[in-house]
Structure 1
Amino acid sequence: MDNYAIISAGSKQYTVSAGDTIRIESTDKEKGEEITFKPLMLKNSDGLLIKKQALQNISVTGTVVRNGRAKKIIVFKMKRRKDERKKRGHRQNFTEVRITAIS
């Protein structure tokens, strides 16, 4: 992982390099469309770039591989001795993105 960047997508941050595939929060992009991220930090052969002025002209591009839904998680709440139980299921939507370039 010689050249990598830290990007923000949704409410999370990801460490990515060219060729990586990441799952981000669902977006309105369709399969095959290009998506661009602004990096928060960049590590390359020149060194470490953190300042906003240095990162102003740099972007991370990726291609949407697919949109889908993750596996179901079960949320179970119980209060002992009160005969109170709640069982809920939840599936989160996601967009899978393959990082093509950091430039």
Structure 2
Amino acid sequence: MYAIIRTGGKQYKVQAGDVVQVDKVAQDLGAEFVINEVLLVGGETATLGSPLVKGASVTVVVTKQAKTRKQIVFKKKRRQGYRKFATHKQEFSELFIKAISFDGKTAKAEGSANVVDVKAVRAEKAQARVADRKERAENKSKGTAEVVKKAAKKVAKKKVAKKAVKKTAKKATKTGAKKKAAKKTSKKA
């Protein structure tokens, strides 16, 4: 069984178990309510309303209330120096079709409504990002401390190596000077 309902000035074809995005409805998140504006009920036999089908109703649950993605609104008139730029986010409600009732027959959904609180999810994600940032900063500071220690060890090793090189250079120059002096004296003799 399916039905065509009207809400927010628009028409939607729905079946039991469907999830439909409609213009925002004035209901709380997770609220269950009945839509009586049914224009057609179909199935084995179709019943067309004039304008509404009497005795037909659709039971729905509000599963999400949020805004759509950002749309760009750009207006321009050629050769007039006129340009306008704006953006728009449309509010919507997501409805889970729980049951369709007509003429004593009822088509019920097999699953259940999955209610999502978008604001709470965003808040949790923001907290997770902040915690991740703090953790990275702590790891970075620990890492810099370790890097500083390693750099200090390398500098100490280099200093020790330089001292050893200087000592050997001094010894080499002293022995080199003695050998040169010995050669000079040997040549003279």
TM-score (normalizing by structure 2): 0.50
Greater share of residues in strand: 1
1:36-86 Cα distance to aligned partner (Å, 9 max, x none): 1121100022x010135x932220111000100011111101111122100
DSSP 3-state at the match of 1:99: strand
Greater share of residues in helix: 2
The answer for the alignment partner of 1:44 in structure 2 is 43
Deviates more, 1:34-43 or 1:10-19: 34-43
The answer for the alignment partner of 2:55 in structure 1 is 57
The answer for the alignment partner of 1:31 in structure 2 is 29
Q: Is the 8 A contact 1:41 1:49 kept in 2?
A: yes
Distance 2:49 2:10 in 1: 20
- Residue type of the alignment partner of 2:30: G
Distance 1:28 1:41 in 2: 24
Distance 2:86 2:2 in 1: 39
The answer for the alignment partner of 2:68 in structure 1 is 70
Distance 1:101 1:23 in 2: 17
Alignment partner of 1:12 is 2:7: no
Distance 2:55 2:74 in 1: 47
Structure 1 unaligned regions, length at least 5? none
Show structure 1 runs of 4+ deviating over 4 A: none
Q: Compare relative contact order (CA 8 Å, sep 6+) and give the higher one, 1 or 2.
A: 1
Deviation for aligned residue 1:31: 1.4
Select the residue among 87, 94, 97 that pairs with 2:95: 97
TM-score (normalizing by structure 1): 0.89
Deviation for aligned residue 1:93: 0.6
The count of aligned residue pairs is 99
Q: Is the 8 A contact 1:30 1:66 kept in 2?
A: no
CA RMSD of aligned residues (A): 1.4
Q: Is the 8 A contact 1:69 1:94 kept in 2?
A: yes
